[in-house]
Structure 1
Amino acid sequence: MKFFYKILLYFQKHGYYVCQRIADRFGMRAKLVRTSFIYLTFVTLGFGFALYLFLAFWIKIKDSLYTKRSSVFDL
C-alpha cells in the first residue's frame, strides 16, 4: 500500500505542474483548469487526458529549448 501512495505522491507533485503553467499563462486558478480537464476527460471519453499529455510534452520541449537567462552575459 505504501508503494501506491509513493506513486500517487509522485504524480501529484509532477502531474499538476501542467495545469499550474496553463493557469499562470491565462491568469486563471489552477483548480479550475484541473477540474476542466477532469470533466473534459469524462465527457469526451479520454480526449482530455490525451490533450493533457500533449500539453505536458509541449511544455517539456519548450522548457528544454528556451532557457531563462538572467542577463546578456549568460550566453
Structure 2
Amino acid sequence: MRADIEYIRSFFEKFGFEVCERLGDYLGIQAARIRLFFIYAAFLTMGSSVIIYMILLFIKEIRFYIRKRKTSVFDL
C-alpha cells in the first residue's frame, strides 16, 4: 500500500512540471506547503485554484521555450 502511494506521489511530482517547486523557490516557501495550499483552495473555491495552477504551468512552459530558442547573445 505504501509503495502505491509513493508511486502515485512520484508520478505527480515528475509530471507536475515543478510549478509548486519553482513558485516555492521564488517565494522562499517549501513546495509542500504550496501544494497543500492548492489542495485546500481547490476544495474551498470549487476548482478555481486548478485554473490558476494551469495558468502558472502555461507561463512556465512558454518561458522555457523562449529561453531555449535564444542560444547566443546575438539572438536577443
- Matched residue, 1:63: 64
**Matched-pair contact (CA < 8 Å) for 2:21–2:31:** yes
Aligned pairs, number: 68
CA spacing shift, 1:63–1:16, aligned 2, 3 Å: closer
Q: Which runs of 5+ in 2 are unaligned?
A: none
1:50 equivalenced with 2:41 (yes/no): no
Write the mapping of 1:1-75 to structure 2, written as runs, cut at 5 A: 8=8, 9-15=10-16, 17-67=18-68
Q: Which runs of 5+ in 1 are unaligned?
A: none
Query: How far does residue 12 in structure 1 lie from its aligned partner after superposition?
Result: 2.8
Q: CA RMSD in A?
A: 2.7
Query: How far does residue 63 in structure 1 lie from its aligned partner after superposition?
Result: 1.2
Identical-pair percentage: 35
**Matched-pair contact (CA < 8 Å) for 2:24–2:34:** yes
**Matched-pair contact (CA < 8 Å) for 2:17–2:57:** no
Under a length normalisation based on structure 1, what TM-score does the superposition of the two structures give? 0.72
